[in-house]
Every structure is written in C-alpha cells, then in structure tokens.
C-alpha cells in the first residue's frame, strides 16, 4: 500500500479545485515569455501563485522543447517550519496534488541515503510549501516523470553539491531549486538587494546570504555544482510582490533563473 503525502497548501497558495488549478497554471505558462533554452537546472520562487506564479512560469515554460525527454526531477527547497540537519528525504511513496499523484524515485533515494548529510524526515515534508507549490507546474509541463524531493535545512554548499552530483544524470534529469529572494523590505530596497543576489548567482559566486534568499543553501549548492559541470545561468525574470499582487511597503523578491550547458542563446 502506497504512503501518500497529501497537499498541505492547496486552497492557500494555489487553487484546490483541479480544473481551476489546471486552468490557472496553463494561463500562467501561456503568458510566459517564450525563450529557446534547454535547462539542466532552474531556480524558481515558491510564494502563492498570485504573487510569484508568473515568475515561476517563466522558468517552467523553457522546458517545452525538452519536456518529452525529462523523466526525473530532483527538487530542493528550504524548510520553513521544521529544523533539519542536512537534506531530508520523505518517507512517503508519492506526493499528491489536485492534479494527481507524482511517484517518488526510490532508485534516486537509494543512491544518496547512505550520505551522512541525508536523512529521512517525513515531518519536514508534511507542511512544506516550498516543494509542494512546484508540483502543479511540473505536472502541467511533463508527461511522465518521477520526483525526488529534498527539504534542505542546515548544510554546507559542498554537502548539497555532493548530493546533486550523485543525482546529476543526463538529459532525463532536471534539477529544480525552490527559493524566494529578500523578504519584507521596502520596494526600492528589495530591488537593490535582489539585484545584488541575482548578480552573485549569475556570476556563480557563493555563498548566498540567508537573508537574501530563503533557499540560499540549495542555491549555493547548485552554484558549486554548476561550476563543476560548466553550466551557464541566465536570468529569465526578476520581480517582487509589489510588481504582482501586493503592497510596495514590504515586498518579497522572486527570480527565475535557468542553468544550461549552452554557451550561446537563441532569442
């Protein structure tokens, strides 16, 4: 009998109704700027869809040319409510959303569960939105894939990079890092801080400061891995909640960044 991780933020961060959710995600993807890329990795935000959905869609829309080749998604996001040492795997067999179930990749989990920085912690996943909100986008873009979700707590960049390296694979494997940028700064201050953070990512400079990105640890680990594997990052979108659906008094920053093996881009 399968152990299923049920949705925790359906109806809060995104619609709980399957038809409305599918419609909303498709509208976001359709409205996203079309860019011809073949990403190996993506950095995407994880706020409610009314705030960050358009920015996330700009990343996921780049998967259209390669979607049929992707069979496995390695998804890393920060923990928000549970303290974790290292990177936590869930104990469940599948993650459920209003769009259906996504099976977890047991072979990928077995490939890393011996690492000292990897644990199994179902509690870390039970209410974690940073991973969950990515699933409807992935379900809408990909046809047949397994998932390896990792809730990242306290870890070094090198520990994260070691896990990514073990799971790197080829064109069948996509890496997704879930992270927002600055939190609750005035609009102009947030723009300045987020510009600096994105500049660091685009120059493959780490570590990223935690107060500049809640997913700073998995981002920093991706940067280490990107340098080793000669990936090139490209900014797809950079906005904040003051640009999308909120007040400009205190905003949260969002970026979409694609990492590819290509040195030249076709616009």
Structure tokens at 157: 């960049």
Q: By the 8 A CB rule, do 137 and 56 touch?
A: yes
pLDDT in single tens digits along all 267 residues of the chain = 899 999 999 999 999 999 999 999 999 999 998 788 999 999 999 999 999 999 999 999 999 999 999 999 999 999 998 999 999 999 999 999 999 999 999 999 999 999 999 999 999 999 999 999 999 999 999 999 999 999 999 999 999 999 999 999 999 999 999 999 999 999 999 999 999 999 999 999 999 999 999 999 999 999 999 999 999 999 999 999 999 998 999 999 999 999 999 654 443
Residue 153: helix, strand or coil by DSSP? coil
Strands 72-78 and 146-152, bridge-based pairing: parallel
Strands 72-78 and 173-178, bridge-based pairing: parallel
Residue closest to 135 by CA, chosen among 262, 8, 2 = 8
Domains in the chain (CATH in brackets) are 35-260 (3.40.830.10)
Half-sphere exposure of 263 (CA within 13 A, CB side): 2
Residue 161: helix, strand or coil by DSSP? helix
Strands 94-97 and 100-103, bridge-based pairing: antiparallel
pTM of the model as a whole: 0.96
């Amino acid at each position: 009998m399968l152990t299923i991780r049920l949705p925790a933020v359906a109806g809060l961060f995104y619609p709980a109704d399957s038809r409305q959710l599918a419609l909303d995600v498709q509208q976001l993807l359709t409205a996203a700027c079309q860019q011809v890329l073949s990403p190996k990795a993506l950095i995407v935000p994880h706020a409610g869809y009314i705030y960050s959905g358009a920015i996330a869609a700009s990343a996921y829309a780049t998967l259209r040319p390669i979607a049929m080749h992707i069979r496995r998604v390695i998804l890393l996001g920060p923990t928000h409510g549970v303290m974790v040492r290292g990177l936590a795997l869930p104990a469940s067999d599948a993650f459920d959303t209003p769009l259906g179930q996504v099976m977890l990749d047991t072979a990928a989990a077995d490939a890393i569960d011996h690492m000292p920085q990897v644990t199994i912690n179902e509690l870390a996943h039970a209410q974690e939105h940073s991973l969950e909100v990515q699933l409807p986008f992935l379900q809408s873009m990909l046809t047949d894939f397994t998932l390896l979700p990792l809730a990242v707590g306290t870890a070094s960049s090198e520990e994260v990079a070691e896990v990514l390296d073990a799971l790197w694979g080829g064109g069948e494997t996509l890496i997704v890092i879930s992270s927002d940028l600055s939190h609750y700064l005035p609009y102009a201050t947030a723009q300045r801080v987020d510009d600096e953070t994105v500049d660091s990512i685009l120059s493959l400079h780490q570590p990223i400061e935690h107060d500049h990105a809640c997913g700073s640890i998995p981002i920093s680990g991706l940067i280490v891995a990107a340098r080793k594997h000669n990936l090139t990052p490209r900014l797809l979108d950079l906005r904040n909640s003051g640009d999308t659906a909120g007040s400009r008094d205190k905003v949260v920053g969002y970026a979409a960044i694609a990492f590819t093996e290509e040195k030249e881009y076709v616009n």
